[in-house]
């Protein structure tokens, strides 16, 4: 059995070349700064395939959830890929952004509040059920078979 998450295989497909092309493209994009997002960088460093332990995965997932829960309300750079009329299109997009900012700010504020409450609820549930599971496992480990406390024993 393989430790890989998935495998690519079909007649006529050179998986080695495919993986090499993907790695080269990722390296190129990394050099150009396409993967500067902290979540992407951390996911690459952690390598989700290496997270085999449920507790380790849940901790990592909760950290990512905590980091991503709050929507950034700040301004962002408006870019235009089309060369034709690019300055005019950027100016139009900036005007639209300024007109809608009041409404989007209110929505984003509400979304951040909901996201924060949901993250807190998920963390509380994980803590509660994790502790409950640890107590149950401790009870199972201390119950000796044949003393009447072991599961499945009818008293």
When pLDDT is averaged across residues 18-23 and rounded to a whole number, the result is 85
Answer yes or no: are the C-beta atoms of 64 and 44 closer than 8 Å: no
% pLDDT > 90, the chain: 19
Residue 88 pLDDT grade (very low, low, confident, very high; cuts 50, 70, 90): very high
Residues 73 and 112: their CA atoms lie apart, in Å, by 9
**11-15, 41-45, 58-62, 104-108: least confident range:** 41-45
Say if residue 13's pLDDT is above 50.
yes
| pLDDT (0 to 100) of residue 47 | 59
DSSP sequence for the chain? ----S-----TT--HHHHHHHHHHHHHHHHHTTTT--HHHHHHHHH-GGG--SHHHHHHHHHHHHHHHSSPP-S--------STTHHHHHHHHHHHHHHHHHHHHHHHHHHHHHHHHHHHHHHHHHHHHHHHHHHHHHHHHHSPTTSS-STT---
Query: Across residues 25-38, what is the average pLDDT?
Result: 72
The closest of 64, 73, 71 to 39, measured between CA atoms, is 64
pLDDT above 50: residue 59: yes
For the segment 90-104, the average pLDDT, to the nearest whole number, is 88
pLDDT, tens only, 117-139: 999 999 999 899 989 999 999 99
Band the pLDDT of 91: cuts 50, 70, 90.
very high
pLDDT, residue 71, reads 78
Give CA angle at 110 (126, 41), nearest 5°: 55
């Amino acid at each position: 059995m393989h430790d890989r998450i998935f495998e690519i295989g079909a007649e006529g497909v050179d998986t080695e070349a495919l993986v090499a092309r993907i790695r080269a493209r990722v390296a190129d994009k990394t050099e150009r700064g396409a993967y500067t997002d902290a979540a992407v960088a951390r996911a690459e460093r952690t390598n989700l395939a290496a997270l085999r332990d449920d507790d380790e995965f849940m901790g990592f997932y909760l950290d990512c959830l905590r980091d991503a829960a709050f929507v950034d309300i700040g301004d962002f750079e408006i870019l235009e890929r089309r060369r034709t009329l690019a300055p005019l299109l950027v100016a139009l997009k900036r005007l639209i952004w300024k007109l809608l900012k009041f409404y989007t700010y209110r929505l984003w504020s509400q979304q951040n509040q909901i996201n924060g409450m949901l993250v807190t609820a998920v963390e509380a549930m994980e803590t509660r059920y994790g502790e409950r599971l640890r107590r149950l496992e401790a009870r199972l480990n201390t119950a000796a078979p044949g003393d009447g406390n072991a599961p499945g024993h009818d008293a």
